[in-house]
Amino acid sequence: MKEGMDLKEVVNRIIRGRKTIYISWIVAFVLALVVVIITPRKYTTRVILLSETTEKGGASGLLGQLGNLSGMNLGDLMGLNLGSSSGSDVLSPELYPDIVSSTPFLLDVMHQTLFDSKQNKNVTVSEYLKNNAHPSIVGMVANVFQSSKQSKPLPVFLNGSDKVLHLTREQTDQLKALNEMIQVNVRKPDDKLLSGKSKIISVEVEAHDPLVSALLADSVINCLKTYVVNYNTGKAKKDLEFISKQFVKARENYYAAQQRLAHFMDSHANVILATVRTEKERLEKENNLYAAVYTSLAQMQEKAKIQVQDHTPVFSIIEPAKVPLRKSAPKTTLIFLGLLLVGGFVGVAIELVKIMLHPDNQ
């Protein structure tokens, strides 16, 4: 740029070279058009629910009350550690994002069924991901290239209590794709009255088909509900199962003691002997003892049923899954505006470089 060239002259030179800017805009427009065409469409479904968390009241404490029945420590007799629980073993909503992204949870979601409008039939999430994991041109070429090198599938198996998962490369890719489709956020509600006990859970699912996006979001919500309910009520259900078994045994023992006392009374109705009186007292005490245990266990069983209900978390759907009408990606307007803006800057930059290299050209 020659010495003494003012800004007005530079602007005039740029205006005279506007053909370069037009060409840059055309190139940017074509590039934006290509990007929009090759980028697969995506639709996002957002589900919002309110999770009310409650603290457990010590499920082990229910069994601990058995130790006071008839002056006997039934917990020690049954070999149980009947201590009280801390009451802090409720699954926190802050852990929901980690749960949803975990491999066991994603495997559960992959077995769910949804309707594929392209095939016009119900398919599992795994089958849908297998057929629609690479919808773009570049993705399909990469998928063909990878499938030619893919080794024989490895089985999925569980090894004892460790639950060792041996996944194929295809399953691993599907889990990764599914995890990228799901987004979970947790926040406190704006209402201060609910902020201490409740959390708002937002689940977003992005898919290439709007119907699949809504159905998959609903499946994720249902799987999450089942997981949380099973976790929070697991201990209470085990206590209920144990108490129910003990109740059945106590009932059998009580009925048997009643029959023994009745048979003894019938067979010794007119006999007045010390041995008979002693045996009668023993059978009556045995009957009274089994009656007390039977009655107490019946009450404990009802309490345990209530405890399971108390431990069941409450989920209130604020915004249900709806089939999205507009695509969430690609952002066509933003892509065109952004690339056109870049194209304009590139055109102006080229003209400035020309001015710097040839300042005397008019």
Report pLDDT digits (tens) over 153-184.
444 444 454 567 788 888 899 999 999 999 99
For residue 360, what are its two tokens?
């005397």
Q: Which of 213, 143, 227 is nearest to 178 (CA)?
A: 213
Q: Are residues 360 and 315 in the same domain?
A: no
**Residue of higher predicted confidence among 73 and 337:** 337
Average pLDDT over residues 326-336: 89
Domain range for 73 is: 40-329
For residue 213, what are its two tokens?
């996006």
Q: Measured between alpha carbons, how far is 79 from 120 in angstroms, rounded to an integer?
A: 58
Q: Measured between alpha carbons, how far is 186 from 25 in angstroms, rounded to an integer?
A: 43
A 10 A CB-CB count for 47 gives 21
Q: Are residues 166 and 140 in the same domain?
A: yes
Q: Are residues 204 and 324 in the same domain?
A: yes
Judged by DSSP in three states, 204 sits in strand
**Residue of higher predicted confidence among 68 and 330:** 330
pLDDT at residue 139 tops 80: no
pLDDT at residue 57 tops 80: no
User: For residue 286, what is the DSSP state?
Assistant: H
Q: Which of 253, 244, 249 is nearest to 289 (CA)?
A: 253
Q: Are residues 136 and 172 in the same domain?
A: yes
Compute the C-alpha angle 70/74/76, nearest 5°.
Answer: 140
Average pLDDT over residues 322-340: 90
Cis peptide, bond prior to residue 330, ω within 30 of zero: yes
Q: Which of 54-58, 91-95, 150-154, 170-174 has the lowest mean pLDDT?
A: 150-154
pLDDT at residue 21 tops 50: yes
Q: Highest mean pLDDT: which of 89-93, 147-151, 258-262?
A: 258-262
pLDDT at residue 84 tops 50: no
For residue 147, what are its two tokens?
């499938």
Residue-level pLDDT at 203: 95
Q: Are residues 24 and 92 in the same domain?
A: no
Average pLDDT over residues 146-152: 47
Residue-level pLDDT at 78: 46
Which H or E element spans position 184?
A: strand 182-187
Domain count for the chain, please give it.
2
Q: Are residues 171 and 119 in the same domain?
A: yes
Q: Are residues 2 and 51 in the same domain?
A: no
pLDDT at residue 151 tops 50: no
pLDDT at residue 352 tops 80: yes
CA distances from residue 2 to 17, 347, 352, 354, 359 in whole angstroms, order as listed: 18, 21, 12, 12, 5
Q: Measured between alpha carbons, how far is 194 from 197 in angstroms, rounded to an integer?
A: 6
Mean model confidence pLDDT for the chain: 80
| 47 neighbors 320 (Cβ within 8 angstroms) | yes
Q: Over pLDDT 90: what percentage of the chain?
A: 45
**Number of DSSP helices (H) and strands (E) in the chain, helices first:** 12, 6
Q: Are residues 111 and 154 in the same domain?
A: yes
| 85 neighbors 58 (Cβ within 8 angstroms) | yes
Q: Measured between alpha carbons, how far is 135 from 143 in angstroms, rounded to an integer?
A: 10
Q: Are residues 238 and 217 in the same domain?
A: yes
pLDDT-derived band at 5 (thresholds 50, 70, 90) equals low
Residue-level pLDDT at 162: 54
pLDDT-derived band at 72 (thresholds 50, 70, 90) equals very low
Compute the C-alpha angle 255/257/263, nearest 5°.
Answer: 100
User: For residue 65, what is the DSSP state?
Assistant: G
pTM above 0.85, yes or no: no
Q: Are residues 50 and 14 in the same domain?
A: no
For residue 180, what are its two tokens?
């990228």
Q: Are residues 245 and 262 in the same domain?
A: yes
pLDDT at residue 343 tops 60: yes
Q: Are residues 308 and 349 in the same domain?
A: no
